[in-house]
Amino acid sequence: MMRRFAFLFAFLLALAAGPVVADDLDALRLADEAPADVARASDWSAFIEAAAGRSVLRNGMSSPDQRLSLDVQLDKRLAPGWRLVFANRLDMFWQDEPTRQHGINTLKEAYLGWQARDDLMFDAGRINVRNGVAAGYNPTDYFRTGANRSIISADPASLRKNRQGSVMLRGQTLWDGGSVTALYSPKLASQPHAASLNPDVGATNNQDRWLLAASQRLTGNLNPQWLLYKEERLPVQLGFNLSMLVNDATVAHVEWSGGRSPSLFAQATQVGDDTAFRNRVSSGLTYTTSNKLSLTVEYHYDGGGLRDDQWQALPRTSLPAYGRYRALLQNRLEAPTRDAVFVYVAWQDALLNRLDLNAMLRHNLADHSRLSWLEALYRADRMDVALQWQVNSGTPFSEFGAASQRRIVQALMRYFF
Amino acid sequence: MNMQINNMRRLTIATLLGAVCHLPAVAAPDAQAILAASDAVRNPGYPFGLTTTLLEYRNGKQTDAITLAVYSKEDKSGGQFRSLIRFVTPARDANKLMLKNGNDLWFYDPSNKASIRISPQQRLLGQAANGDIVTVNLAKDYKATLAAEEDTQDGERQTRRCYKLALAAISPDVTYHHIEMWIDVSNNRPVKARFYTESDRLLKTAYYRKYQSQLGTERPTETVIIDGLDPNWVTVMRFSDYAKREVPEAWLQRDYLPRFKPE
C-alpha cells in the first residue's frame, strides 16, 4: 500500500514538475537497464565469406559456383611512430563440380609506416594507393592496373576492396588544410604469376612508376587534389579531383586525368603510334533522400577508347585484335569505348530495419550493352547475408554482351570475427 | 597553453555570468551566457578524446550497438568543434573514419582506401549522427532567449529548477532549426533538450544525465535520445574514457584520414 502511495506521489510530482511524458519515462527506464560494457578497438579484423551461385552462360548452359573466402586486416602500432599494416584475402573457388577447385591469394597490403613528425610520414612495402572521387570509373586511380587477381563481384566497391597494392616507397607531408604525397614504385618483375599463393608483384610492379599528389583546402567546401603520374611507357599524366557539397543532400564530383598517350587499342595491339593528348573524365553527383536512399549518377568519358564506329567494326575486322583489346581493358578496368553512364542506388534500411537494397547499372552509350546488378543485404550483428543478381545484356561483341556469363545469381554469407 | 588559459578564462567568465544571472532581483539572466556555460559543462575547452557507445532500442528491444572513438578540437576561428570519429564496433565497420568540420564531412573506409565527401543528409543515415549532440557548441550556432524559469524532471527523475531557453539557429548549416533547452539554474548543467525542424516538427528529445567528474568538472556521461516521430525509438549514448588529447591541425583534413591511428 505504501509502495503504491509512493508511486502515486512520484507520479503526481512528475506531473507537477512539467513536461516529462510517459514515453520519456519509458525511455529513461530503458536506459537504466542498458548494458554498461564498453567495446575496445582492435588492431585486427577478419571475416569469412561463403558464397554459392549459378551462372547462365551465353550458350544457354548453366554452371554452379561456390566460393569460400577469408579476409584479414591488421593495423598495429609497433612502437611510437611505427606502424605495421597487413591485409590479405584468400579465395577458394569450386566451379562446375566439387573436384574443380582452385585458390587465389591476394596479398593486398604489407607495409611498414614511420611517422617522423605529426606532419611527416614515410611508408615502405606493398601499399594499396587509391586516388579518385568517382564511384564507377576512376581515371586518376593509376595503380589499379593489374591489381585485381580475383574478381568476385561486379560491384565497384568490391573491386576496390579486393585488390593488391603495389610495392613502393611513399612519403607524405601535411599542413593545416593541405598535403603533398610523393611515391616511387619500382619495377621488380616482368610478368604476372598466376600461381595461387604467389604475391604476384609481376602484376603490379612490372615497370617503374612515380606519383605526386597535392591538395589544398581553399574554402571549407573546396578541397581539390592535383596529381602528376609517370609510368615507363607513357608521358607524364595530369590528374584532378574535386567533390563539392551542392546542398544538404547533394555532393557533386569531377575526376579528370589527361596527358599524351597512345590509344588503348594501339597499346593493346602494339600497332602504329597514335599518341595524342587524351582526356579521361568521370563526373556526377550523389543525392540522398530523407528515407535513406542515395542515388549516384555518373558520366564517364575515356579519350583513349575506340570511337563508336571503330568499336562496332573491330570484331569484323580482326578477332585476335578484338581479343587483345579486351584483355588489356580487363587488366586496366577500362571501357572499350568513350562514353558511358553509371548509376548506383543504395537504399539503407529499405522496407525493413537492417535490410539494404543496392542496385547498379553500367550502360555503354556506343553499343548500348548493359550490366545490371542488384543486391539485397541483411545486416545481422556479426553477419551479413546477401543475395546478388547480375545480368549482362547486349549484342555478342558488345562490352557486356560478350561476357561468357549472361546471368549470375549468388547468395553469400559473411561472418565478422 | 595560451589556448587553455583562454578557454579557462572563457569558462570562468561564462560560469560567473551564469552564476550572476541566478541572483534574485538582478536584471534578467543573460540567456546566451547560460547557454555558453552549459556548452562548457558538456565539452572541455581543449582538444579531447572520448569513447561513445550508442545503444539503439526500438519498441523496448535493443536493435543496434555502435562504439565510436571521438577526437575533438575546437576551431580556432569559428569556435565549433571539429571531430575525427573512428568506428570501433560493429565489426563490419571497425576502423572506418569520419571527419566532421561543420558541413565539411569526409568518410574513409580503410578496406578500399576511399576518402569520400558525404552530404549532411548522408551522415544522418547512421546513428552516429547523434554524436553531434555531444560535441556541439550550441552558443556558437544559436541565439538563446530565456523563455521561462520552471521546474522540470531530469533524466534521473529528479525535479530541477531550470532555465528554459529557446534557441534559434543563426548559422544556416546547422542540423536543427530551433531547440528548447532546460539548464539547471544552480550549476548550468544541461538537463534536457528538444530539437525541432523549421516546420516545428519535433526531431528528438535528449536527456543529459549520469553526471560524473570528467576532465576536471562534472559532465553528463549519458544522453538518452528519444525520436520525435517514433517515441519507441530510443538511443542511449554513453561517454567514457575522457582524455585530454592533442590533435594537430594538420590531422583534421581528408588527406590525413588514411594515416589516422588513434591510441
Mean pLDDT of the region A219-242: 93
Task: Please check the confidence at residue A18 and state whether its pLDDT lies above 50.
Answer: no
State the sign of the Cα–Cα–Cα–Cα dihedral A187, A191, A195, A196: positive
Mean pLDDT over each residue of chain A, to the nearest integer: 90
- Interchain CB contacts (distance < 8 Å): A and B: 193
Helix-strand-coil split of chain B, %, nearest 5: 25, 45, 30
Q: Maximum distance among all alpha carbons in chain A?
A: 99
Instruction: Please list every residue in chain A whose beta carbon sits closer than 8 Å to the beta carbon of residue B116.
Output: 133, 243
Distance from the B19 Cα atom to the nearest Cα atom in chain A, whole angstroms: 23
Task: Please check the confidence at residue A280 and state whether its pLDDT lies above 90.
Answer: yes
Contacts 24+ apart (CB under 8 A), A395-401: A395/A367, A395/A369, A396/A58, A397/A314, A397/A315, A397/A322, A398/A364, A398/A367, A398/A368, A398/A369, A399/A335, A399/A336, A399/A337, A399/A364, A399/A367, A399/A369, A400/A362, A400/A364, A400/A369, A400/A370, A400/A371, A401/A367, A401/A369
**pLDDT value at residue A270:** 86
**pLDDT value at residue A110:** 97
Band of the pLDDT at B44, cuts 50, 70, 90? confident
Nearest-CB residue to A119 (from B111, B240, B250): B250
**pLDDT value at residue B4:** 42
Would you call A43 an interface residue with chain B, using a CB distance cutoff of 8 Å?
A: no
**pLDDT value at residue A98:** 56
Residues forming a β-bridge with A94: A66, A101
List all residues 6 or more positions away from B172 whose beta carbon is below 8 Å from its beta carbon. Answer: none
| Count of domains observed in chain B | 1
Instruction: Please list every residue in chain A whose beta carbon sits closer than 8 Å to the beta carbon of residue B226.
Output: 23-24, 27
Task: Please check the confidence at residue A399 and state whether its pLDDT lies above 60.
Answer: yes
Would you call B118 an interface residue with chain A, using a CB distance cutoff of 8 Å?
A: yes
Contact between A183 and A171 under an 8 Å Cβ cutoff? The reply is yes
Would you call A320 an interface residue with chain B, using a CB distance cutoff of 8 Å?
A: no
Mean pLDDT of the region B117-125: 77
Instruction: Please list every residue in chain B whose beta carbon sits closer than 8 Å to the beta carbon of residue A414.
Output: 92
**pLDDT value at residue B104:** 85
- For A50-416, give the CATH class: mainly beta
- CATH of residue B213: 2.50.20.10
Distance from the A231 Cα atom to the nearest Cα atom in chain B, whole angstroms: 22
| Predicted TM-score (pTM) of this structure | 0.86
Would you call B150 an interface residue with chain A, using a CB distance cutoff of 8 Å?
A: yes
Residues 12-41 of B with CB under 8 A from A: none
Using a pLDDT cut of 90, give the percent of chain A over it: 71
CB contact under 8 A, B111 and A294: no
Question: Which pLDDT tens digit goes with each residue over A85-139?
Answer: 999 999 999 876 656 778 999 999 999 999 999 899 999 999 999 999 999 999 9
For residue A327, the 8-state DSSP code is H
Instruction: Please list every residue in chain A whose beta carbon sits closer than 8 Å to the beta carbon of residue B57.
Output: 27, 30, 34
Residues 115-174 of A with CB under 8 A from B: 115, 118-119, 121, 128-130, 133, 157, 160-161, 172, 174
**How far are the Cα atoms of A177, A318, A328, A365, A390 from residue A394, in angstroms, in the given order?**
47, 20, 21, 12, 13
Domain extent, residue B12, equals: 2-259
List all residues 6 or more positions away from A127 whose beta carbon is below 8 Å from its beta carbon. Answer: A85, A109, A111, A165, A166, A167, A168, A170, A183
